[in-house]
Structures are given as structure tokens and as C-alpha cells.
Amino acid sequence: MSLYATQKLLYHLNREPQVQARFKADRAALLADYDLDPEERAAIEAGDIGLLYVFGVNGQILMHFAAACGMPWNDYLEAMREGVRRHGPVRAGIYAMVSSPDEKVAGA
């Protein structure tokens, strides 16, 4: 696990237009610049919001990434719930889910 590197890539991607351009044009080369393990690399390449959430990516970083991927708000919330259903509880960080996986809080 290299949650730090995963979040660092997403941080750069969220704020730097040049990184966004590389993400579109040559994703594999961009990801090679970061110390990611294969599972993390695959999750980022696939835009797997649910798995990234379970890894412990800070919600503020993840929310901006999901928005940049064009994911509607409700789909973003559901993707995180689906991630917990499939992969179990959030493994790190301060953005763990406090409701049950099938509970709807708001806007979902």
C-alpha cells in the first residue's frame, strides 16, 4: 500500500492542468512517475472510486477527482457505498463511512 503516493497523484491531477492533460494523453507514463502498487495503479486507471475510497483516499481529494471524471453527485456517493460493500470498511484516514452500507443519508 502506498496511500500517500495515490493521494499525491490525485492531488496533482486535481489542481494541475498539465497533469490533467498527461492523464488523458498518456496515463500509463504519468502513473509510472508515482510509487504505486499494481492494485492502486489499476484503481486509478479504471477510475474505481469505490476502491480508492476503501484504500483511505481523503474524501476531499476523491470528490474532486470524481467531479473531474464527470461523475454525477449521486453516482459518486453510490460508488463509495458499493466500494465498501465489495471490499469492506475504509482501511485508513479520517473519511470512514459511519452509516451502514445500505443506508441512504441525503442526496442519494
Could you tell me the three cell numbers for 6? 495515490
CA–CA separation, 48 vs 31, rounded Å? Answer: 15
Q: Which residue has the cell 494523453?
A: 25
Under rule CB under 8 A, residue 58 binds another protein:
yes
DSSP code, position 28? H
Residue 28 neighbours by CB under 8 Å, 6+ apart: 45
Chosen residue from 35, 60, 86, 91 binding another protein by CB under 8 A: 60
Under rule CB under 8 A, residue 1 binds another protein:
no
Q: What character string, x for contact with another protein (CB under 8 A) and - otherwise, covers 6-35?
A: -xx--x--xx--------------------
* Least Å from the CB of residue 88 to another protein: 14
CA–CA separation, 62 vs 66, rounded Å? Answer: 6
Region near another protein per CB under 8 A, out of 23-31, 33-41, 88-96: 88-96
- Categorise residue 78: left if φ over 0, alpha if ψ from -120 to 50, beta otherwise: alpha
**Residues at the interface with another protein (CB under 8 A):** 4, 7-8, 11, 14-15, 58-64, 67-68, 73, 77, 80-81, 84, 94-99, 105-108
